[in-house]
């Protein structure tokens, strides 16, 4: 009988493979055990993964607090220096109880690896340095900023992120744990860009964050030179669209708040008890608006006529601000535009509330060219507005449309894509030749970001 040596080889092969799989499995277990003991950065990860019950977690948290750790909220990050406001019994940050913290050494490796390790709005546990002396109320005695070390962070319940235009997989989380995204635009100076508002709304929907729209400088609507009949018609239509979908829209004059007193009051009530993230171009009046909310520091309102471009020259930091009206705000100079692109149509459809629940023939319908498209039918029947439909297609294809000019022609689309590619190539070249700042530290190139969103600013 001829011995089937190939079979034998096969068996040996199998045995070897089985052994390898086993070794891998043991290695993996070891890694995860090791990982668990070292990587305790996210303090409530076990709770969220179901390995710990609510009461087990609060017991453990109680022990950490008893051992001297304090709860805080990150209010500013300057490289390794992290400014933390201590949280009061209700879990609200007290921005006058400020600490200067660093991250505990054992988390350094992870902190280096992860770009978004600590961001403004993060809730953390920190340990005061040994030399900090306390008064009878448990507050630091020193007049200088007391120092501490961050030991743990809590998982984020919401986040606002943008993608690096150079590395689309590279995400930059700008804010964490906000309760409401307030999109601020001005009717004129600079003129409202509805497409940009739609992009911000998409981002909010993606994070499951409530969003509100504030239209500032409504005093300028009384100027017939600016506010033509055609403009007013489109303006009113847009407001009707957003309100119809269910978004809160506020029309205010931050410069002369008495002109729009009721709206400002309504805004204050909406803000109360929340951590607000502001989004919008510079020059639209975010600082003026914040000043109406009794901030702990007055926000500087820039009266430079070239204000629309000021964001490109100044480097400011995201910072969390306590508002006298019983709210908090994070003003983010960096949030001029999000890189909302690269979505699949199913995800993006979910980000347009008025599109939800409408069926198409194809599950992965892009609502663009496919037959039997429920969305296109809804547009034709007026149940979905042309305006929002155009924004949808724009975000889906990563194209910009010029407001009021109908669809962009194919040539325009190609020119747009080309221009964006050139900006990216140029930035890449600069980075490689060392002309640009360290990408990690520098603000993302505003120009690169903005090219994706200049749909109606190129006049
Ligand atoms: P930010 O860059 O978004 O913080 O905008 P600012 O608050 O610095 O305001 C930009 C410019 O718009 C300043 O010159 C303000 O005086 C002006 N501004 C702010 N609110 C209003 C408004 O309600 N009406 C008018 N006409 N101008 C305003
Ligand atoms: Zn469809």
Domain finish residue from 155, 179, 194: 155
What is the full DSSP assignment across 121-158? T-EEEEEE-TT--B-TTS-B--SSPPEEEEEEEPPPS-
In a domain, 336, yes or no: no
For residue 255 and ligand 1, the question of a CB distance below 6 A is answered with yes
The answer on 238 and 195 residing in a single domain is yes
For residue 226 and ligand 1, the question of a CB distance below 6 A is answered with no
Range of the domain at 389: 345-451
So what's the pLDDT on residue 451?
30
Helix axes 194-206, 386-397, angle to 10 degrees: 70
> Six-digit token pair at 405?
């000019």
Query: Is the pTM for the entire model greater than 0.85?
Result: no
> Six-digit token pair at 155?
């998982």
| Nearest atom within ligand 1 for CA of residue 331 | 4
Query: Count of CB atoms within 10 A of residue 295's CB?
Result: 19
For residue 217 and ligand 1, the question of a CB distance below 6 A is answered with yes
The answer on 314 and 184 residing in a single domain is yes
For residue 288 and ligand 1, the question of a CB distance below 6 A is answered with yes
The answer on 302 and 181 residing in a single domain is yes
| Nearest atom within ligand 1 for CA of residue 252 | 23
The answer on 271 and 228 residing in a single domain is yes
For residue 448 and ligand 1, the question of a CB distance below 6 A is answered with no
> Six-digit token pair at 34?
């090791």
Q: Whose CA is nearest to atom 27 of ligand 1?
A: 217
The answer on 196 and 140 residing in a single domain is no
Determine the distance separating the centroid of ligand 2 and the alpha carbon of 339, expressed in angstroms. Answer: 24
CATH number at 99 reads 2.40.50.140
Domain finish residue from 155, 183, 209: 155
The answer on 122 and 107 residing in a single domain is yes
Determine the distance separating the centroid of ligand 2 and the alpha carbon of 406, expressed in angstroms. Answer: 20
So what's the pLDDT on residue 139?
84
So what's the pLDDT on residue 96?
83
The Cα 59–Cα 43 span in angstroms is: 12
- Give the tens place of pLDDT for each residue, 111-167: 888 888 999 999 999 999 988 888 888 888 877 789 999 999 999 998 887 766 666
pLDDT in tens, the chain (459 residues): 445 555 555 666 667 777 777 776 666 555 554 544 457 899 999 999 899 999 999 999 999 999 999 999 999 888 889 999 999 988 889 888 889 999 999 999 888 888 889 999 999 999 999 888 888 888 888 777 899 999 999 999 988 877 666 666 677 788 899 999 999 999 999 999 999 899 889 988 988 899 999 999 999 999 999 999 999 999 999 999 999 999 999 999 999 999 999 999 999 999 999 999 988 887 899 889 999 998 877 777 766 544 443 333 333 567 788 999 999 998 766 455 555 556 788 999 999 999 999 999 998 999 999 999 999 999 999 999 999 999 999 888 876 443 333 334 444 444 554 555 555 556 556 655 655 433 333 333 333 333 333 333 333
User: Which residues lie below 8 Å from residue 438, measured CB to CB, with a gap of 6+?
Assistant: none
In a domain, 111, yes or no: yes
The answer on 287 and 146 residing in a single domain is no
State how many domains the chain has.
3
> Which ligand has an atom closest to residue 333 CA?
1
Determine the distance separating the centroid of ligand 1 and the alpha carbon of 323, expressed in angstroms. Answer: 19
The answer on 184 and 100 residing in a single domain is no
User: Which residues lie below 8 Å from residue 268, measured CB to CB, with a gap of 6+?
Assistant: 292, 293, 325
CATH number at 440 reads 1.10.40.50
The partner residues of 248 in beta bridges, in order of sequence, read: 212
Residue 206: name the closest of 394, 373, 360, 342 by CA.
Answer: 342
The answer on 385 and 255 residing in a single domain is no
Mutational pocket test of ligand 1: of 190, 221, 254, 256, the residue with most ligand atoms within 8 Å of the beta carbon: 254
| Nearest atom within ligand 1 for CA of residue 301 | 8
Q: Whose CA is nearest to atom 8 of ligand 1?
A: 301
The answer on 290 and 170 residing in a single domain is yes
Determine the distance separating the centroid of ligand 1 and the alpha carbon of 314, expressed in angstroms. Answer: 17
- Give the tens place of pLDDT for each residue, 251-277: 999 999 999 999 999 999 999 999 999
> Six-digit token pair at 190?
């600079």
In a domain, 3, yes or no: no
Determine the distance separating the centroid of ligand 1 and the alpha carbon of 407, expressed in angstroms. Answer: 31
Domain finish residue from 108, 127, 155: 155
Helix axes 229-245, 386-397, angle to 10 degrees: 80
In a domain, 43, yes or no: no
So what's the pLDDT on residue 309?
39
In a domain, 70, yes or no: yes
In a domain, 5, yes or no: no
The Cα 215–Cα 289 span in angstroms is: 11
The Cα 277–Cα 162 span in angstroms is: 14
In a domain, 273, yes or no: yes
The answer on 320 and 203 residing in a single domain is yes
For residue 196 and ligand 1, the question of a CB distance below 6 A is answered with no
Q: Is the dihedral of CA 61, 66, 69, 73 positive or negative?
A: positive
In a domain, 39, yes or no: no
CATH number at 189 reads 3.40.50.300
The Cα 298–Cα 278 span in angstroms is: 16
For residue 443 and ligand 1, the question of a CB distance below 6 A is answered with no
Q: For the sheet with 211-216, list strands across it.
A: 248-251, 211-216, 180-186, 275-279, 327-331, 319-323
The Cα 213–Cα 379 span in angstroms is: 23
User: Which residues lie below 8 Å from residue 344, measured CB to CB, with a gap of 6+?
Assistant: 364
The answer on 138 and 63 residing in a single domain is yes
Mutational pocket test of ligand 1: of 301, 311, 314, the residue with most ligand atoms within 8 Å of the beta carbon: 301
């Amino acid at each position: 009988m001829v011995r089937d040596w190939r079979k034998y080889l096969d068996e040996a092969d199998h045995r070897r493979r089985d052994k390898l799989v086993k070794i891998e499995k043991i290695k993996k277990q070891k890694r995860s055990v090791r990982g668990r003991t070292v990587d305790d950065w996210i303090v409530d990860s076990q709770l969220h993964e179901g390995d710990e019950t609510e009461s087990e977690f609060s017991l453990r948290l109680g022990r950490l607090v008893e051992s001297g750790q304090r709860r805080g909220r990150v209010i500013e990050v300057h490289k390794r220096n992290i400014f933390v406001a201590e949280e009061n019994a209700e879990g609200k940050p007290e921005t006058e109880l400020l600490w200067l913290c660093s991250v505990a050494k054992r988390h350094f490796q992870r902190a280096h690896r992860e770009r978004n390790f600590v961001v403004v709005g993060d809730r953390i546990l920190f340990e005061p340095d040994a030399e900090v002396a306390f008064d009878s109320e448990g507050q630091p005695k020193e007049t200088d900023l007391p120092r501490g070390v961050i030991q743990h962070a809590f998982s984020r319940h919401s986040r606002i992120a943008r993608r690096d235009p150079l590395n689309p997989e590279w995400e930059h989380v700008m804010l964490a744990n906000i309760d409401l995204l307030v999109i601020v635009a001005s009717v004129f100076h600079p003129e409202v860009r509805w497409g940009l508002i739609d992009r911000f709304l998409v981002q909010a929907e993606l994070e499951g964050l409530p969003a509100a729209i504030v239209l500032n400088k409504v005093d300028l609507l009384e100027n017939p030179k600016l506010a033509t009949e055609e403009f007013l018609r489109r303006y009113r239509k847009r407001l009707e669209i957003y309100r119809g979908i269910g978004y809160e829209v506020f029309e205010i004059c931050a410069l002369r708040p008495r002109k729009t007193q009721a709206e400002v009051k309504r805004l204050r009530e909406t803000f109360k008890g929340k951590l607000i993230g502001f989004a919008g171009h510079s020059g639209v009046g975010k600082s003026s608006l914040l000043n109406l909310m009794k901030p702990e520091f007055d926000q500087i309102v820039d009266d430079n006529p070239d204000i629309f471009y000021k964001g490109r020259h100044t480097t400011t930091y995201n910072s969390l601000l306590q508002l006298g009206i019983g709210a908090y705000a994070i003003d983010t100079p960096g949030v001029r535009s999000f890189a909302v692109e690269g979505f699949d149509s199913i995800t993006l459809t979910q980000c347009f509330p008025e599109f939800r629940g409408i069926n198409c023939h194809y599950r992965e319908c892009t609502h663009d060219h496919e037959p039997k498209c429920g969305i296109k039918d809804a547009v034709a029947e007026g149940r979905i507005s042309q305006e929002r439909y155009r924004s949808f297609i724009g975000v889906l294809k990563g194209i910009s449309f010029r407001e009021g000019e109908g669809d962009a022609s194919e040539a325009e689309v190609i020119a747009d894509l080309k221009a964006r590619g050139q900006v990216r190539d140029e930035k890449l070249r600069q980075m490689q030749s060392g002309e640009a700042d360290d990408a990690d530290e520098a603000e993302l190139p505003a120009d690169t970001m903005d090219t994706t969103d200049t749909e109606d600013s190129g006049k």
